Chain A
Amino acid sequence: MKLIKFKLLFGGIFYKKLRLFLSILGITIGVASLFTMHTFGESARVRTLQQIETFGPNLLMIVSGQARVRAGRALQAEQTTTLKLEDAQALRRISEITNISPFYTGSAIVRQGGRNISTVINGVNEEYLKIRKFEISEGRNFLKDEIVGFKKVAILGHKVKKELFGNGKAEGETILINRLPFIVIGVLSPIGVDASNQDQDDQILIPITTAMSALFNVDYITGIYVAVSSPDVVPIVEKQIDEILLKRHKVSPKDRDFNIIKAEDIFKFRQEASQLFTTLVQSVSILCLIVGSLGVTAVMLLSVNERRKEIGLRLAIGADRLKILLQFLLESIFISFLGGLIGLFLGIFASIIFLPLLKYPLVIAWRPIIVSSLLTIIFGLISGIYPAYRASKIDPAILLKGM
């Protein structure tokens, strides 16, 4: 009986299937994009947080040159050669610094067996792994002697190891980096992409001394990683580093030839970038919903016009105008909600497919689901007001004019 009642009230919606499809299309697209983008935004946020973990709040990075943080990345505006290994040594006298590792980054061709790959070579010291909180899955870390002694030893990133050795053992094997033989002493656990957007699995770590002399033949370094005792002392340490380096480089603050980057900076810029993205996408989706609901309005107007006789009949058999108004308002809400529901499913579907594909963590948040559902109901209501008003104003006298 409920079913018959429901059918007699809303059966008209399903009578013209194509029209129903067209009217929900706009809403469906709007909600699907709203939801998908929301999910992507949320996922990006979670990913950023994960990346920040590899660049902890107690870390500082000093890079040479006029580096800037842009869009969450440390960009080196120009290469300068003024940052030296001795600068890193000099920083050790700051008491709050617990670990320090200079680094030199270059790229090289690596050969093993018949395989050639091109990868990133990072010259570091034995403290680097501790600073970055990188784990070793096989073998061991560098020894201090190996760093001081210009030893040709290497720790492979997870992906590099896979490419060179597959599932086999890498420890103890010899690889050629730019034709120089290095002995593999360890392999890193999978890390992923870090805050500077570099794939930390696609790299080889070697002693900084070896990198600067034998491999790249330079007398300067790319930067210095510094770990401090607690996040609270970061500002003090930053200031001290700045003073020491300015003095050593004999430059005024305005000609500073190095840059100090904190986790906070990266996080802040990342947040701003994703905020901008989210706002943009949300505005577009809302716009899409508005266009969609205009579509619903247009189709409902058409439908009201087409069903004038049905409306007249309902009035003649005892409906009052309020009931007609409510009926058509509910129809609009129903249509939008149906569109929204389908859009939601499409959005969830798209998220499940594309998030893993783009290597984003799969996050299905409740907030966008609730927000989109509410929005479709509201837009349905808004888009239904005028058609429903028109429906309620139909004169039942038309019934008697023959056809």
Chain B
Amino acid sequence: MIVAEQKPLPEIIEMVSPFKKLLILGCGTCVKTCFAGGEEEVAVLASILRLDARHKGKDIQITELTIERQCENEFIQEASEAVSANDAVLSLACGAGVQDIARRFKNTPVLPGLNTTFVGVMESRGLFTEECLCCGDCRLGMTGGVCVLARCAKKLSNGPCGGSRNGKCEVNPEIDCAWQLVIDRMTCLGTLDSLRQYCPPRDWRSSNSAGPRKLLREDMVI
């Protein structure tokens, strides 16, 4: 899923300060799952902003709404009425959701309430880890299902650097050395020898290095 976290409150308060009528728009898919932008987070943030405004003697009207996904037109339409009734939208979606809302409602300022952090998993409740850089050229089959691009701090393709210690990365002892995970897994699978093979430099054109990517599924176009 796309993992995000709420921006620091002072930053949000500063961003919304010019507006009298604000829609806080939640997103009910990825960011809800990572406790950053679902109904509950919308409600809590709305309460905080109301309290803050009252404390400062300012007048602000806040509307709360959460739609299923802010990156799909079908759901975005559900927000039309609420968007047009407000001065601005504080979107609690990932960066894609924020942009899709901004694209559809040209005359309303749309502000990001979250920092989109990574594509990852919830390893355990409340703990999220980065797993994928969306490079567009998946090599997980060669590294035992562990992405060394996303999970090795030096993006090494041909084995661990000299800083791997007790299975942890030198950059942060809280993080597993991706190559240790690869080697453990491939030892288990009996395929460690295949790591002897040279892995050539990547063709970064599949990533956003060659500019923003577009994917056209002609079979699905109506």
Q: Do A and B come from one complex?
A: no
Chain A residues with a Cβ under 8 A of chain B? none
